[in-house]
């Protein structure tokens, strides 16, 4: 034990008691001064030097309770610091290199010489400093941890996340038709579309698709691509939950690909594997109108909202190795438009002759496709009404899609904020 080594080299119990008696006021004083100094450093410097200063002292402090508390705080601090933060390596190297040197030299002095009276008080001073430093470090790091916990992200912080998603979408064009946007939108929809209004289970609050079995559900095939795309952004902004990130990224995908503004608000919490939803809650493209209604009514949508939402098939494509279906719905799969509805109404759609699940292809070019559930939207009278409205008027589609999509992303989320607190994240220029 360091204190013992420093103070009790001669094993004199009486002297130890005496020294301990006089040492506490000094320790207390040093503790206060050091804490103040650390507080000042923390608030007036950019937090780079403080850990270098305090870590050596508390890591090797032999006041075991304090040291372990300090280490806990330190670990929590390191955990709460982004892996990419330039601060993290500094904190780490300070923890593991500087302390040993500082401590080694002081210990060497005492291992070769018998402690004298004067040196003992010198030791006392060191011990006091170590204790005070350790305590200071504890409060410094506790403070850092507390402030990370108390960090309340503002709209500008979510905008920074949005900008990062938008930048990554713009940079990484070597995928599918040139954008990860469609598959990210599909991730946001599948994370939300598991909601069951009767039981209040499922929905975007939880991001349980991170776990098997939900990640392995047939309907979610291919969505690992989208989850992996967003992981570096989650690492860069560790304060955002996966649930908020996935929905925000869905909003970014729509807006960045030319779709309507989607008001959004944060407040979702991630849940663990126990909250995974059972397989079968998402729609099956090979079915018809009855199945579509079953699935979407379970979430609380009406016919008009159902049709508006499926208009998202203007984006992206089906992949034979994911769903079994194959091909894009229109000629501009990376631009959000009402083309899906226009083509549904204006094109002739025939069953595709191929060795795959039933799907439809356009008579004109035989390069586009529709799912049986898409065709159901023009076979069913109630649905068709809305298909025709949207085919005619892009603005009406944009408005009604936006409203329905906001609702989809918020199903089952116990927000503390009000609907009026939603904000529109600014799309990139």
The catalytic residues are 190, 329
Judged by CB, which is closer to ligand HEM: 81, or 337? 337
From CA 388, how far away is CA 384, in angstroms rounded? 6
First and final C-alpha spacing in the chain: 62
Task: Pick from 77, 158, 162, 189 the residue near ligand HEM by CB under 6 A.
Answer: 189
What's the helix, strand, coil split of the chain in %, to 5? 60, 5, 35
Q: Which CB, 234 or 322, lies closer to ligand HEM?
A: 322
- Judged by beta carbon, residue 50 or residue 187, the one nearer ligand HEM is 187
* Alpha-carbon torsion, ordered 339, 344, 348, 351, to 10 deg: 110
Interface with ligand HEM: number of residues (CB under 6 A): 23
CB of 70 closer than 8 Å to CB of 170: no
Among 88, 92, 197, 319, binds ligand HEM (CB under 6 A): 319
Residues 220 and 71: their CA atoms lie apart, in Å, by 41
- DSSP state, 196? B
Q: Confirm or reject binding of residue 183 to ligand HEM (CB under 6 A).
A: yes
Tokens of 91: 């904190």
What does the alpha-carbon distance between residue 429 and residue 426 come to, in Å, rounded to a whole number? Answer: 9
CA distances from 25 to 12, 15, 19, 29, 49 (A): 21, 17, 11, 6, 28
Q: Which is nearer to ligand HEM, 206 or 372 (CB)?
A: 372
Of the candidate spans 2-10, 154-162, 179-187, 413-421, the one that interacts with ligand HEM by CB under 6 A turns out to be 179-187
Site for ligand HEM in 264-303 (CB under 6 A): 283, 285, 292
Taking CB under 6 A as the rule, does residue 317 contact ligand HEM? yes
210 vs 313, beta carbon nearer ligand HEM: 313
Rounded to a whole number of angstroms, the minimum distance from the CB of residue 254 to ligand HEM is: 9
- Contact status: 310 vs ligand HEM (CB under 6 A): yes
Residues 212 and 224: their CA atoms lie apart, in Å, by: 12
Q: What is the closest distance, in whole angstroms, from the C-beta atom of residue 182 to ligand HEM in the complex?
A: 3
182 lies in the binding site for ligand HEM (CB under 6 A): yes
327: closest CA among 278, 282, 299, 366?
A: 366
| DSSP secondary structure letters along 252-301 | HHHHHTT-----B--------GGGPPPTT-S--TTS-HHHHHHHHHHHT-
- Regarding 323 and contact with ligand HEM (CB under 6 A), the answer is yes
Task: Name 289's Cβ contacts closer than 8 Å, sequence gap at least 6.
Answer: 376, 377, 379, 380, 383
Report, in Å, the least distance between residue 333 CB and ligand HEM: 7
From 43-51, 105-113, 115-123, 322-330, span contacting ligand HEM (CB under 6 A)? 322-330
Binding mask 357-376 vs ligand HEM (x if CB under 6 A, - otherwise)?
Answer: --------------x-x---
Which lies closer to ligand HEM via its Cβ, residue 182 or residue 206?
182
Binding site for ligand HEM (CB under 6 A): 182-183, 185-186, 189, 222, 283, 285, 292, 309-310, 312-313, 315-319, 322-323, 325, 371, 373
């Amino acid at each position: 034990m360091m204190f013992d080594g420093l103070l009790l080299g001669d094993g004199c119990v009486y002297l130890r008691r005496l020294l301990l008696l006089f040492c506490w006021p000094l320790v207390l004083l040093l503790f206060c001064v050091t804490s103040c100094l650390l507080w000042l450093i923390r608030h007036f410097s950019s937090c780079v030097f403080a850990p270098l200063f305090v870590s050596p002292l508390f890591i090797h402090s032999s006041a075991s309770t304090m040291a372990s508390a300090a280490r806990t705080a330190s670990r929590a601090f390191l955990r709460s610091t982004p892996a990419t933060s330039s601060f993290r390596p500094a904190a780490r190297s300070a923890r593991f290199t500087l302390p040993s040197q500082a401590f080694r030299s002081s210990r060497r002095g005492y291992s070769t010489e018998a402690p004298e009276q004067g040196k003992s008080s010198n030791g006392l001073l060191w011990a006091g400093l170590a204790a005070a430093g350790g305590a200071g470090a504890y409060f410094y790091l506790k403070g850092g941890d507390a402030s990370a916990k108390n960090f309340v992200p503002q709209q500008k912080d979510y905008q920074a996340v949005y900008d990062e998603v938008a930048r990554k979408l713009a940079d990484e064009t070597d995928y599918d038709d040139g954008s990860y946007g469609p598959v990210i939108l599909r991730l946001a929809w599948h994370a939300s579309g598991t909601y069951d209004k009767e039981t209040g289970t499922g929905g975007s609050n939880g991001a349980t698709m991170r776990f098997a079995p939900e990640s392995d559900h047939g309907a979610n095939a291919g969505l690992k691509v989208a989850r992996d795309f967003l992981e570096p952004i989650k690492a860069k902004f560790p304060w955002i939950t996966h649930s908020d990130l996935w929905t925000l990224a869905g909003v970014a995908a729509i807006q960045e690909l030319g779709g309507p503004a989607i008001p959004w608000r944060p407040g979702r919490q991630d849940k663990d594997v126990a909250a995974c939803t059972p397989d079968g809650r998402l729609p099956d493209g090979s079915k018809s109108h009855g199945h579509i209604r079953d699935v979407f009514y379970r979430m609380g949508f009406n016919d008009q909202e159902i049709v508006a939402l499926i208009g998202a098939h203007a984006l992206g494509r089906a992949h034979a190795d994911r769903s079994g279906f194959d091909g894009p719905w229109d000629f501009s799969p990376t631009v959000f438009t009402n083309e899906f509805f226009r083509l549904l109404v204006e094109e002739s759609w025939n069953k595709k002759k191929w060795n795959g699940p039933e799907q439809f292809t356009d008579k004109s070019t035989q390069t586009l496709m529709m799912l049986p559930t898409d065709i159901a939207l023009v076979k069913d009278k109630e649905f068709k009404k809305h298909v025709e409205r949207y085919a005619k008027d892009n603005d009406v589609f944009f408005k009604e899609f936006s409203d329905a999509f906001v609702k989809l992303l918020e199903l089952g989320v116990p927000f503390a904020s009000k609907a009026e607190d939603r904000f529109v994240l600014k799309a990139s220029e």
